[in-house]
Chain A
Amino acid sequence: MSDFLLELSENPQARKLIKTLGLPLPMPEVLPRATGPYEDRPFEDKNILVRATDAFADVLAREITRGGGNAFVVGEGAALTAFEEQGKAWGRPPKAISLDDKHDELTLHGAVIDASDVKGAADLRVLYDVLHPLMRRFAKHSRFIVIGRPAEDAAGPAEAAARAGLDGFVRSLSKETGGAGNTANMLYVEEGAEKRVGAPLRFFLSKHSAFVTGQPLRITNKVKGDEDPVTRPLEGKVALVTGAARGIGEATAELLAAEGAHVVILDRPADDGPASVVARNVGGSLLLVDITDEDAPETIAQRLLEEHGGVDIVVHNAGVTRDKRLMNMKPDWWDSCVDINLGAVVRITDALLEKKALREGGRIVCLSSVSGIAGNNGQTNYSASKAGIVGFVRALSEQVADKGITVNAIAPGFIETRLTAAMPVFLREGARRLSALGQGGRPEDVGQAITFLVTPGAVGITGNVLRVCGGALVGA
């Protein structure tokens, strides 16, 4: 059976009809997605509610006003002054907003709540105080971002509790408002890394993150490097994408190329047809290698060095499923799945580092999976490999931080690809409904998250696992 309901829900006439008739058919909100590369002003004419502490006032003011947003600043004092200053540079004067007044005429498109000053349970009230009176004023597809300090760095258990509490609030807000296509995400920013919230803010506050919700990211000062061009941030960079002939790999290659990267399309020699089409489309190069071959790591490093003088971005996207319950699984299914998804990733990364093919300021993104984190029936091999990725990313990120290299993982949830199209229809429809946004994602959604993590501006993010799952219920 085809996805009749899904197609129906994307037809505006049909949506209207179903709504008018009051049919009990679930119609997931059609998510507006970015249609082009990064823009100078991603928040043009968007009304954004801001609550900022002194620590973040300057950086939030700069990012939001430079991005074209109209800031509605809660309270007065340093935050408002910072927004007024930046407003002059970018022609976006802020408005002070009082929470006691009614704002029936106001439409908001996003909120950035800086709660980095919470010290105890009672302070969590700030979230309620700022958002509760205005919750009805948010348009569809709004973006909520909460900023806090990492609980681990707290002065004591009470402060840690308040800080950790922010995460729970964001996850629930994501579920509560996901039906309208809203997203809510959390930034845990270490002391001294405040300036690094720019790129994450642009990502989470724009259409580039349509399918990312309910996620916490940690922003650190661990890795050196600060350059942050807003548009075409990957100009002059060389990117390797494995498994790029189709699906998520292809979508990622296209997005990286659109931001200025030269993309090396890597896939198996058997896929030379589709891989060469992708390479041509993105103006990139082709590298046909079976990543499980014994000499593959050596060959890849060598070719990158010879043909491109090295590589700046590595996206380990190639992967397979070999699903069987453990009792029925043949040894070669176990082996191939674990080797392609994890073994090859480790070997290739090692070779790139050892041969110094990965340049300073490099970016590594590995593909994990929500089912890798949460576990799934019939996927012992797959989950082992994908959870292994998480361990790999965390450990490696510490090792290469001094070279300016970040290492992160993306964990896609239900994404509409060849793999999921093969699922039984009820299981498939069920999987879609299990997310806060009530639908599956698209390969480009994952590509967008990968692209964000490999930009120079994402230098504060390393050792993180970012889920692109639409706020899936499993594995939270």
Chain B
Amino acid sequence: MATKKKSETKQSGQEPKKRTTKAAPPKQAEAAAAPVARRKSVAPPAANPASRRAVVIGGMRTPFVRAFAEFMELDSIALGVAATKALLERYDVPRAEIDGIVWGGVILPPYSPNLAREIALDLKLPHRVEGFTVTRACASGLQAVHSAVAAIERGEADILIAGGSDSTSNAPLVLPNKAVHALAPLAFGKAKGMSDYLGVLSQLMPITDILPRKPEISERTTGEVMGECAERMAKRNQISREAQDELAYRSHERAAAAVASGRFDDEITPVETKSGRVSADTIIRGDTSLEKLAKLKPVFDRKAGTVTAGNSSALTDGAAAVLIMSEEKARALGYKPKAAFRSFAYTSVDPADQLLIAPAIAVPMALERAGLELNNVSLVDFHEAFAAQVLSVTQALASDAWAKERLGRDRAVGEIDPARFNIHGGSIAIGHPFGATGARMVTTIANEFALTDAETAVLGICAAGGIGAGAVMERVD
């Protein structure tokens, strides 16, 4: 089924319409519009810029490490440099041919928010390798890949590195604006006499108003932190503590198995730090059990809650990078591409309702654009922000009522077969450096295509602001 659809897409991708109008000078094309349209169906398919395909060659990432631990001294740029450097080495990328870097990040360093260009500079890449940085909350890594794919498919580039990184350990402490405004005369050297300094001091009272705020991942519009939203989603969708712990357990179990089997060896690079070499993910707990998970206390609602540190993704430092080329260029350079993208889809919902439910809308959108059904994709990979959130999304996808009311469809999108779902674990076990997760998922799926006979995969990511992202990948042989 999937193969058949694929060939259909290929054909429609090579639709000759644009070429016919482009080949002819505009005026002639207008005059001859009707005959051209009639001839269209008999014209042989031919290569044209619109049919360019971007392909994934491979990806590399740093180990994902719990925040405020081994990677404390590495900021998002340094982490990005580590992942990108490993990618360049692993795939022996011709440096002179790289067109640019697209990077995703959530907590961007205020001193240099354009991570992409800084990574190129630190890697001493040729100066023409420019870079831009994208942010779409936790979908930033996927967005970076998407932006690179789009640029290549539009013919604007041939080789791009896309990825993302985040260092929660290096989140800047932010001074309240009151303090910033009061201190401005001093900072910008405009204060002249003692009285100016006193004036500044007087504005800084009371002291509690000007202390730096604890960095929190809270929604700007609702003030809720993510965990509270997940807790509410658990209640709204009646997701039990047991189901959440089970999902978390499976995530750890599968990720640990992948590590043990060496499945991740080709996607993780060791990183040198002052205190030593870090060569493996630090959050995965192969030795955890349902009993251990059940003992943890709920964090966000201590009395009646179900969301614990065990069934949530942890604050993580890390980076992931993906090498993307035009298929033509890849073949010319002798690369063996692993994957391509059939579709991307984004949407959002009211953050005050169910903040992290939107993948249940974005994923069906992406599948529809790719001409696929949930039950005939080979792999399903969802970012696990919280077990409660993942289960809310999968429950919605399996619900007729959700399909009718929220998607305007007659029947449920489908049940997800656990055997095809997050087969090597997800963010709960592996960790979740916000900007890197999308690129990590793309890498793991691309490798899965290379290692198995899986044909297609659908990705789903929830993000702050009520955003949901979906993407459909297909194997390239």
Contacts and interface: CB of A to CB of B under 8 A. Distances in A.
Given A40-B350, A41-B353, A68-B353, A90 B233 contact: no
A78 to B, nearest CB: 15
Contacts of B92: none
A269 B370 CA distance: 61
A425 interface: no
B406 A88 contact: no
A260 interface: no
Among A44, A68, A85, A89, the most chain B Cβ lie within 10 Å of the Cβ of: A89
Interface in B374-430: 392, 395-396, 399-402, 404-406
A225 interface: no
B236 A89 contact: no
B353 A89 contact: no
Interface in B357-375: 357
Given A41-B353, A68-B353, A90 B405 contact: yes
B238 interface: yes
A91 B354 contact: yes
B353 A88 contact: no
Given A40-B350, A41-B353, A68-B353, A89 B238 contact: no
B237 interface: yes
A87 B353 CA distance: 13
A92 B354 CA distance: 11
Nearest to B399: A88
Contacts of B392: 91
Size bracket, chain B contacts: 10 to 19
A88 B350 contact: no
A93 B401 contact: no
Interface string B328-355: 0000000000000000000000101110
Contacts of A92: 236
**Max chain B CB contacts within 10 Å: which of A66, A85, A88, A90?**
A88
A86 interface: yes
A89 B402 contact: yes
A88 B401 contact: yes
Interface string A50-91: 000000000000100010100000000000000001111111
A421 to B, nearest CB: 40
Contact of B237 (A62, A66, A85, A91): A91
Nearest to A66: B405
Contacts of A86: 401, 405
A89 B233 contact: no
B353 A62 contact: no
A40 B354 CA distance: 13
B404 A91 contact: no
Contacts of B406: 89
A89 B395 contact: no
Contacts of A68: 353
A88 B396 CA distance: 7
A89 B402 CA distance: 4
Interface in B223-275: 233, 236-238
Contact of B405 (A40, A41, A89, A93): A89
Contact of B236 (A62, A66, A91): A91
B357 A91 contact: yes
Contacts of B401: 85-89
B405 A62 contact: yes
A33 to B, nearest CB: 21
Given A41-B353, A62-B405, A86-B405, A91 B233 contact: yes
B351 to A, nearest CB: 12
Interface in B124-170: none
A62 B350 CA distance: 18
Contacts of B404: 89
Contacts of A44: 352
B286 to A, nearest CB: 34
Contacts of B353: 40-41, 68, 91
A87 B405 CA distance: 11
Among B238, B353, B354, B401, residue most surrounded by chain A Cβ atoms (within 10 Å): B401
Contacts of A62: 405
A90 B357 CA distance: 10
Nearest to A86: B401
Nearest to A84: B401
Contacts of A66: 405
B357 A89 contact: no
Interface string B204-226: 00000000000000000000000
A62 B401 CA distance: 10
Contacts of B350: 40-41
Contacts of A91: 233, 236-237, 353-354, 357, 392
Interface string A86-116: 1111111100000000000000000000000
A38 to B, nearest CB: 14
A41 B353 CA distance: 9
A287 B399 CA distance: 52
B399 A93 contact: no
B236 A93 contact: yes
A48 B134 CA distance: 44
B238 A93 contact: yes
Nearest to A85: B401
B231 to A, nearest CB: 13
Most-contacted residue by chain B among A85, A86, A91, A92 (CB, 10 A): A91
A124 to B, nearest CB: 34
11 contacts: A40-B353, A41-B350, A85-B401, A86-B401, A88-B237, A88-B396, A88-B399, A89-B401, A90-B405, A93-B237, A93-B238
Interface of A: 40-41, 44, 62, 66, 68, 85-93
Interface of B: 233, 236-238, 350, 352-354, 357, 392, 395-396, 399-402, 404-406
